Amino acid sequence: MGRQKRGRDISGIFLLDKEPGVTSNQALQAVKRVFGAKKAGHTGSLDPLATGVLPLCFGESTKVSQYLLDSDKSYRASIMLGQTTETGDSDGRVIETVSDFNITEKDIVSALKQFEGTIDQTPPMYSALKVGGTPLYRLARKGIVVEREPRQVAVHDIKLTGCDLVSREIEIIVSCSKGTYIRSIAEDLGGTLGCGGHITALRRLKAGKFEESNCHTFYQLCEILERQGLSGAEECLLPTDSAIIHFPKIKLPTEAVRWILNGHAVNANELPETGLLRMYDENTFIGIGFVDSDGKLAPKRLMQSVHKPMD
């Protein structure tokens, strides 16, 4: 028999405002300990330097984590022009400095335009992507550089929101698809301008429908725990279906629910031709369904515990 996992069977989504200087997994484990949760996972890494929106899924909510991982993100980044580092951010060693360059704000705005739309982006060596099962950053720390295939990513919008040509630091806000590396944008922007560049600050403003205004810091969570106990901390958890609120909602009659929960497809009214749906037994979220090739509603991911649904 395998060793049984310790912890509580707790489900929900905690929106963490990650602090700088910790990895996403370190942040996850700290919050997991607060809740005493048996099962937990995050929905896309943030660099140690980065702050902001990091949705953490517990228990049954881990079943929807992939949809958060696949969601669009928004970031605010500060970029230092004139310096290139080995990691693409200020945590890394400076490997090149260009002190003599003359760039205008107009030059920067013009250069940023080339990053809008669907672009090919080469992942940085200092990233969590794996080659042969080994994260790239582990190879990079050993001085090993491997070939990385460019990947298509979508930059929906990129704006210059701050420009100090004296300190040579600029600020941008980027709305993009999953898998977009803001560090790579900073490095490529510096290359386009002929001076190099690296990230000095990075904040995730939005992940899917979740925004920074909805988040709690770890310190705030600990304060709530101290004042209100575990029940107060659990009030910070969002229901599972909040992660997929953009999916169409369908309420099913009792008999259809029984068939769905047993893994069968059912006929249902007003189904779209394709796509995923949120399925409910009255007001109880029971899982994610899809329209199969016969035009029936079929189960994709089913919940085992009960949550109060999002309206």
SS3 for 46?
coil
> Could you tell me which residues are beta bridge partners of residue 58?
12, 40
| Residue 17 annotated as catalytic | no
Q: How far is Cα 212 from Cα 50, in angstroms, rounded to an integer?
A: 13
Q: Are 194 and 152 in contact (CB under 8 A)?
A: no
Integer-rounded Cα Rg, in Å, for the chain is 22
> Which tokens belong to 214?
């909805």
Give the torsion through C-alpha atoms of 185, 84, 82, 183, to 10 deg. Answer: 20
**Residues paired with residue 287 on neighbouring β-strands, in sequence order:** 279, 302
**Identified catalytic residue from 47, 89, 188, 241:** 47
Terminal alpha carbon distance of the chain? 42
Helix, strand, coil percentages (3-state) for the chain, rounded to 5, are 25, 35, 40
Q: How far apart are CA 273 and CA 265, in angstroms?
A: 15
Q: In sequence order, what E strands does 193-293 have?
A: 197-207, 210-211, 249-252, 276-281, 284-291
Q: Is 271 left (phi over 0), alpha (psi -120 to 50) or beta?
A: beta
Phi/psi zone of residue 61: left (φ > 0), alpha (ψ -120 to 50 degrees), beta? alpha
CB neighbour list of residue 100: distance below 8 Å, 6 or more residues apart:
none
Q: Which of 296, 293, 295, 297 is nearest to 279 (CA)?
A: 297
Residues annotated catalytic, as ranges: 47
